[in-house]
């Protein structure tokens, strides 16, 4: 996992990555645009710090979403980002039952990396979650990446996203039985609770490995 993190950070920082190095994540790679002037050490250090901060911020957003927002059920997540170096898409399925969270750690990291890519300047990103609730309900919510965090989409916005063909722009009939819901606000870990919120919303469960915690 640390090897993959190093690889992604190298990509975000604009370093060359050996194309023959097999990390099993080829679909997540992209090549930075060539530069006309040599890159200074200060610029490299600044880029590295930015990349690390983006990944940490995206991980916090992911954990806050999973720990405080999604709720019980089986959730299908699809994160996507449009960057100057290509399009990134990553999916994941996870199950939440009370305090029990069943999640694939490698898949979670890939989703967080795509969110981080959407936070980089000149990039855009978003996350869609389709939930199958324990009561038989089926609904979809969405968030866009804006100002280095996940911002909720309205029910109308997610409905429009689901009922328009992304390639042709033609309308698509809504799926029977699928409800389009207003997404919830994703709390930041450092925010104090507002009126009516419990303190648990300010500190999502930290499911990161010990070496990834502050």
Residue pLDDT, tens place only, 20-63: 443 333 333 344 445 556 667 766 666 666 667 889 999 999 99
Q: Is the pLDDT of residue 158 over 50?
A: yes
Band the pLDDT of 162: cuts 50, 70, 90: confident
Q: Using CA atoms, how far apart are residues 8 and 56, in angstroms rounded to an integer?
A: 13
Q: By CB neighbour count within 10 A (0-12 exposed, 13-18 middle, 19+ buried), where does 87 fall?
A: exposed
* Segment 167-198, tens digit of pLDDT: 787 888 888 889 999 999 999 987 644 433 43
Out of 9-13, 14-18, 40-44, give the one with best mean pLDDT: 40-44
Per the structure, how many domains does the chain have? 1
- State how far the alpha carbon of 116 is from the alpha carbons of 60, 80, 133, in Å: 10, 10, 28
Q: Give mean pLDDT, residues 101-128.
A: 92
**Mutual orientation of helices 2-13 and 105-119 as an angle, nearest 10°?**
10
* Segment 105-115, tens digit of pLDDT: 899 999 999 99
Residue 158 lies in a domain: yes
Residue 147 lies in a domain: yes
pLDDT given for residue 131 in this prediction: 97
pLDDT given for residue 37 in this prediction: 62
Closest CA to 28 of 116, 137, 96, 94: 116
Residue 190 lies in a domain: no
Residue 64 lies in a domain: yes
Could you count the other beta carbons within 10 Å of the beta carbon of residue 35?
9
How crowded is the C-beta side of 62, counted as CA atoms within 13 Å? Answer: 26
Cβ contacts of 177 within 8 Å, gap of 6 or more:
138
Residue 202 lies in a domain: no
Owning domain of residue 179 = 2-16+39-185
Q: Is the pLDDT of residue 124 over 90?
A: yes
pTM of the model as a whole: 0.68
Could you count the other beta carbons within 10 Å of the beta carbon of residue 158?
23
Q: Is the pLDDT of residue 207 over 70?
A: no
Q: Using CA atoms, how far apart are residues 133 and 135, in angstroms rounded to an integer?
A: 5
Residue 23 lies in a domain: no
Compare 200 and 181 and report the one with higher pLDDT: 181
Residue 199 lies in a domain: no
pLDDT given for residue 135 in this prediction: 94
pLDDT given for residue 176 in this prediction: 87
% the chain with pLDDT above 90: 47
Compare 78 and 85 and report the one with higher pLDDT: 78
Could you count the other beta carbons within 10 Å of the beta carbon of residue 95?
15
Q: Is the pLDDT of residue 3 over 70?
A: no
Sign of the CA dihedral running 68, 69, 72, 73: negative
Q: Is the pLDDT of residue 128 over 80?
A: yes
Question: pLDDT averaged over the chain?
Answer: 76
Residue 44 lies in a domain: yes
Q: Helix or strand or coil: residue 6?
A: helix
């Amino acid at each position: 996992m640390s090897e993959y993190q190093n690889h992604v950070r190298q990509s975000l920082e604009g370093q060359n990555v050996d194309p023959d190095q097999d990390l099993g994540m080829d679909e997540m790679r992209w090549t930075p645009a060539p530069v006309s002037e040599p890159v200074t050490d200060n610029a490299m250090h600044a880029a590295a710090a930015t990349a690390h901060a983006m990944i940490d911020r995206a991980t916090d957003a992911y954990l806050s979403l999973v720990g405080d927002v999604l709720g019980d059920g089986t959730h299908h997540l699809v994160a996507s980002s449009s960057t100057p170096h290509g399009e990134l898409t990553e999916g994941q399925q996870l199950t939440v039952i009370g305090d029990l969270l069943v999640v694939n750690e490698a898949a979670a990291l890939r989703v967080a990396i795509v969110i981080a890519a959407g936070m980089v300047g000149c990039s855009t990103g978003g996350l869609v979650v389709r939930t199958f609730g324990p009561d038989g309900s089926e609904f979809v919510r969405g968030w866009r990446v804006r100002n280095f965090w996940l911002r909720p989409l309205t029910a109308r916005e997610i409905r429009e996203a689901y009922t328009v063909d992304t390639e042709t722009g033609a309308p698509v009939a809504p799926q029977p039985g699928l409800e389009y819901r207003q997404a919830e606000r994703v709390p930041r870990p450092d925010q104090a609770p507002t009126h009516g919120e419990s303190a648990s919303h300010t500190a999502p469960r930290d499911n990161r490995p010990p070496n990834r915690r502050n």
